[in-house]
Amino acid sequence: MYRYQTELLPVSMKFFSDKANKADASVLDDLLNRRAAEGWELATYDYMATATQIKGAFIVTFRREV
């Protein structure tokens, strides 16, 4: 049986594109490595842009055995 934890990870401001960039990927890598050190495993993630394409976030779900 698994326990799940979902987190929102905001990304940098965007003005001309809703795409994640290298800095955003680095922030995501840091989060993944911190959670892995705590025993969490990445279950799923998605990048969510806003309708205005100015600010978005990663929604990241981790799991670990109970």
The per-residue DSSP string of the chain comes to -EEEEEEEEE----SS-----HHHHHHHHHHHHHHHHTT-EEEEEEEE--TTSS--EEEEEEEEE-
Write down the domain spans for the chain: 2-65
Tell me the whole-structure pTM to 2 decimals: 0.78
Per-residue confidence at 25, pLDDT binned at 50, 70, 90?
A: confident
The pLDDT value recorded for residue 24 is 80
Per-residue confidence at 14, pLDDT binned at 50, 70, 90?
A: low
Mean pLDDT of the 51-58 span: 72
Measured CA angle at 27 (ends 21, 31), to 5 deg: 140
